[in-house]
Amino acid sequence: MEIIKKFRNVFFYILIIGGFSAVIYWIITTGKELEEGRNIIEKTANTSSFQGFLDSFVENLQHPLGILLLQIIIIIIFARLFGWLSNKIGQPSVVGEIIAGIVLGPSLLGLYLPDVSQFLFPVKSLGNLQILSNVGLILFMFIVGLELNIKILKNKAHEAVVISHASIIVPFAAGIALAYFIYSSFAPDDISFMSFSLFLGISMSITAFPVLARIIQERGMQKTKLGAIAITCAAADDITAWCLLAAVIAIVKAGSFVSSIYTIILAAGYVLVMMRFVRPFLKKVAETYKTDTGYKKSAMAIFFLTLLISSFATEVIGIHALFGAFMAGVIMPSNPRFRSMLIDKIDDIALIVLLPLFFVITGLRTEIGLLNDAYLWEVTGIIIAVAVLGKFVGSAVAAKYVGQSWTESLTIGALMNTRGLMELVVLNIGYDLGILNAEIFAMMVIMALVTTFMTGPIINLIERFKSK
């Protein structure tokens, strides 16, 4: 009986496939008669079938989607490889990922293998890559906001605010002083001194909260008093610096402080609405749509719509979409399990797939070859020195003033001097706004690398002296 059933199935399969194939062939053959008078040119055998296949293969490879997918593959491979190498030498993976971007840019790949660089990153393809990288940045800033624990700020607010604000105002003032000396040589012609100096100031005062948090976690410092203070300082630094950046962007876009007042008022209104109305609404949504295994899809849609609407609102206001993404993360329901679940949903796609695209966009903009004489490298060294002294010394002295030991104060200074990815975000905003030219952009990227790279060795050195 089983054999008869199998035979019937095979017979039906042959009949249905064979019959309909014959009908399809007859329709196509008969339909050729409809081509009369249409000037259809049939391909001849002038080229070999293999050559035709090659032509088609190359055409598919150069298609925008094909190029984009190839770019993503190459970028992820290089980012993971350099990130792994970076971890092997005791550095955070972000250092390796930044280096990977520079390697794939004009500084190395473009310099030694220009044809390969042009094939992988043709100018017309960079628009798609940049849009995707911005989506990655929006998701990343959302995660940064989610990882920010407001309760920690309340517990150690006094010490944190003193150290954090000192670690901002000192390098901010140092950056503005530096701008006074380099404005004539490096500022674009159509950029005012106020715009250039304010942006240089904010660039000097950034701390990479995510990188700092991971360094503290990797060293097992998260449960210590020192680790808690450093995390709190970085969190307060993040909020303050991003609010300052929003104000600076508003001033730059408006052209003067007076003209920017409207933008700043709108931004203040936006923050008020997010904190007083949207935050309680999201908390109610989380409580209403909670299930035993997580949250309903309709609730998740509301959370992600909040992210997108917030990013859109700040972009339209004129203070950049990234601030909106960060703010959306901050106001999400404070339940640690909820935040952890939300981070898990977007962490891999944001950090592994999309964020490395940003490093390569930064690398494509970073032309270290432009720094082709001793004077330019001297200026780069001065920028690094000003950045380190401003951030490191400002943080350490303030920490000592509020009662920390010198060992703890110097450790806090070293951690707050970590700039990492956050610095690159700020620098790219400055580049997009036309405030930074290619030379100063390259110098500042090198400064971001050096200040991030030096954090681990300085902490090791402090711990070595402490143990003696």
Per-residue pLDDT, 24: 92
Closest CA to 329 of 308, 315, 313: 308
pLDDT at 62: 74
φ/ψ (deg, to 5) at 290? -75, 140
Based on its alpha-carbon atoms, the radius of gyration of the chain, rounded to whole angstroms, reads: 28
- Tell whether the model's pLDDT for residue 403 goes beyond 70: yes
Q: How do residues 267-286 score in pLDDT, each as one tens digit?
A: 889 989 999 999 999 999 98
Interval 301-310 mean pLDDT: 94
The pLDDT of residue 49? 64
Inform me whether the pLDDT recorded for 313 exceeds 90: yes
**Per-residue pLDDT tens over the stretch 29-61:** 888 878 777 777 665 545 556 776 677 777 777
Q: What is residue 236's predicted lDDT score, i.e. its pLDDT? A: 76
Task: List, for residues 206-221, the tens digit of each pLDDT value.
Answer: 888 777 877 777 777 7
Q: Which range (15-19, 56-60, 429-433) has the least confidence?
A: 56-60
Q: Give the up-direction half-sphere exposure of residue 129: CA atoms within 13 A in the CB hemisphere.
A: 28
- The answer to whether the predicted template modeling score (pTM) of the entire model surpasses 0.85 is no
Determine which of 11-25, 156-170, 332-346 has the lowest per-residue pLDDT on average: 156-170
pLDDT for 200 equals 93
pLDDT score for 345: 86
Instruction: Report pLDDT for 156.
Output: 56
pLDDT of residue 243: 80
Model confidence pLDDT, tens digit, residues 217-240? 777 776 677 777 887 787 778 778
For the cut 90, the answer to whether the pLDDT of residue 304 exceeds it is yes
Q: Which domains does the chain have, with CATH numbers?
A: 150-346+371-467 (1.20.1530.20)
